[in-house]
Amino acid sequence: MRTNIAQVLAINQRNLRYVYTYNPRRHFPVADDKSLTKALLARHGISVPETYAVYQWFYQLARLPGDLDGIDEFVIKPAGGRGGGGIQVVTRLDSGRFQSGGEILGWGELRQHLADILFGVYSSGYTDRAIIEERLHPHHRLKKLSPFGLPDIRILLWREQPALAMLRIPTRRSRGKANLHQGAIGVGIGLAHGITTHAIAGTQRIVDHPDTGERLIPFTIPCWQETVSLAVAAARQVHLKYLGVDISITDTGPRILELNARPGLQIQLANQTGLRSILAQLEAESPADDEL
């Protein structure tokens, strides 16, 4: 089946009809800054990865060894990063050595990476904040589909109603990251039952993982209803009515990774379904908001 081109939501339509109309710019920071996102969701009892440390100023990096005392693996993220840039998954080897992406790092390299984040190297602004957080491991059933990194679920919601969903699977080409533009796989998911329906690598339709040959279609996503409910719960806490929610499913359940006020449109390719008719139907069924 091919996507009906007349039903595909284009980027200008997305921006004018949904992002600019339903996502007031004053509320963008709660999605654009991962530290603000996590703090807000955690206050409302919504599951997110544990935060070990947040750095805003260079002098704070002196406390790094103390902040990581007793922590053997962790993830470094820029709070305002985009597209997976600056994310570093780190494992401790001994008291002064770490490994990330096949490289051996010392305290100096870790501090330098954190300093680059604070300088805004990976963000759209001049400065940023650096987050060190819990490393998540995928649910054991998802791990066989994604041996190269942490997969995630992207659920697109409009007015807190799920519209489309996809599984994003890292590959060798994406270097363990789940971002489609870096080479990850997008796999469409049926919202009703959590079963995969279509998969793409770039714009090419596939049914097997290109690196491992593991069958992608059909596959039943574990903890599916809990995952959808978590996305809806997160959407209810923000004043962003056109929203992408990224979730990791672990053996202890789903966790919110981040929110996106301008979610990409590749989710349509992954599902072989255009968004225009879906959003029109949701709009017809939804009462008007009294206030945005």
Summarised one tens digit per residue, pLDDT across range 40-58 is 999 999 999 999 999 999 9
Residues 73 and 102 in one domain: yes
Q: Is the pLDDT of residue 1 over 50?
A: no
Would the pLDDT of 35 be above 90?
A: yes
Where b means 16+ CB within 10 Å and e means fewer, 164-177 reads: bbbbbbbbeebbbb
Domain final residue pick, 119, 134, 149 = 134
Phi first, then psi, for residue 38 (nearest 5°) are -65, -40
Full domain range(s) for residue 153: 5-48+138-285
**CA–CA separation, 167 vs 224, rounded Å?**
11
| Full-model pTM | 0.94
The answer to whether residues 145 and 273 belong to one domain is yes
Q: What is the mean pLDDT of the chain?
A: 94
The predicted pLDDT at position 207 comes to 96
User: Of 134, 157, 191, which closes a domain?
Assistant: 134
Do 22 and 167 have their domain in common? yes
Evaluate if residue 98 carries a pLDDT over 60. yes
Average pLDDT over residues 110-139: 94
Mapping DSSP to helix (H, G, I), strand (E, B) and coil, where does residue 208 land? strand
